[in-house]
Amino acid sequence: MTLLVITGTGTEVGKTVATAAVAALAKDAGKRVAVVKPAQTGVKPGEPGDVDEVVRLAGALTARELVRYDDPLSPEAAARLAGQPPVSPSQAAEAVTELVEDHDVVLVEGAGGLLVRFDHTGGTLADLAWTLRAPVLLVAAAGLGTLNTTALTAEALRHRGIECLGVLVGSWPTSPDLATRSNLLDLPVAARAPLLGVLPAGIAQHDRAGFLRVARAHLAPQLGGEFDAVAFAERNSP
């Protein structure tokens, strides 16, 4: 894995924590890691953004936030409201490609979901992934309703000829209900891709060593961890 785009089925599903977990494992394996956030929205100047949270959890790495907008909107809408220029997928691809040259792993974290608009031409994270020829890790919610949004996002990837590396549950509750436990078997079917991890809710509250330990136990070997999706599903089956 050299280049990976990380998207979600929507907002607040755990993309940043997932990005930090993948980055932490790559760093622990001795790899040179870079994380790119093409567009950060809803964060004021001077406030910590998503890449700062990744660094807090994973440790020192190359962190790039290409543009920032104050309002918690899509990048295109936030740029328009602020009267600032948007970032296009081609501009983001150029910045990411430069980092690939001297890093072993480059992670690109999107804003919102796969088809949220970056600019007035309709450019999206899907366009960026296609330009980079990069696989996509799909971060999904755990509970009721997640199967539809996961299937729609995965279908959009297939329609564009973009590989879905796998699906990852971004926040697994301490007391999962029936739908949540059932989704362990159904999410890979919806995504037509393997389940590559289940990150526990509250993982970001650990210190850096604890975060690394939990990330290793809950991410699959494809992402540098030791997670066994079959065993986890069997333990949590309805």
Q: Report the catalytic residues.
A: 37
The 8 Å CB, 24+ separation contacts for 180-186 are 180/142, 180/143, 180/144, 181/236, 181/237, 181/238, 182/238, 183/142, 183/143, 183/146, 183/147, 184/229, 184/232, 184/233, 184/236, 184/237, 185/233, 185/237, 186/147
Burial of 104-136, coded b for 16+ CB within 10 Å and e otherwise, reads ebbbbbbbbbbbbbbbeeebbbbbbbbbbebbb
Tokens of 101: 């040259």
Pairing state of beta strands 164-172 and 136-140? Answer: parallel
Q: Give the strand pairing for 33-41 and 136-140.
A: unpaired
The answer for residues whose C-beta is within 8 angstroms of residue 218's C-beta and 6 or more apart is 21, 172, 197, 198, 199, 200, 203, 225, 227
Nearest C-alpha neighbor of 62 from the set 22, 105, 92, 94: 105
Residue that is written with structure tokens 């007035």 in the block: 120
DSSP 236: T
